[in-house]
Amino acid sequence: MINAKKIEEIAKQVTDAIPPGVKAVANDFEEKTKTVLQRKLSQLDVVTREEFDVQTQVLIKTREKLASLEKAVAELEAKLADKDEG
């Protein structure tokens, strides 16, 4: 099994071995990428997970209410049909 501590040490050694100029380019690229992603994501019409969960619960309650109303209408229609026949 690979030791996580050893992996961290190797990663640090590799990072330390990278010339400063390359690190600067990599850091600059990372920052620019983050900026572009944040800008693009902010332009999307998305909701948070919390908002999604709230709307899911609202939808569940709405479906339950609709089923209840459909049952009540069916019962009223049945009563009206029985009354018309009688």
What total number of domains does the chain contain?
2
Q: What residues make up the domain containing 59?
A: 47-86
Q: What is the mean pLDDT of residues 6-31?
A: 85
Tokens of 44: 């999307």
Instruction: Give pTM, 2 decimals.
Output: 0.48
Q: Name residue 7's amino acid.
A: I
**Model confidence band, residue 86 (pLDDT cutoffs 50, 70, 90):** low
78 pLDDT more than 80: yes
**Residue 80: strand, helix, or coil:** helix
The residue written with tokens 């400063």 in the block is 20
- pLDDT tens column, 23-68: 888 888 888 998 888 888 778 888 889 999 999 999 999 999 999 9
Let me know whether 28 and 61 are in one domain. Answer: no
Let me know whether 52 and 27 are in one domain. Answer: no
Contact (Cβ atoms closer than 8 angstroms) between residue 7 and residue 14: no
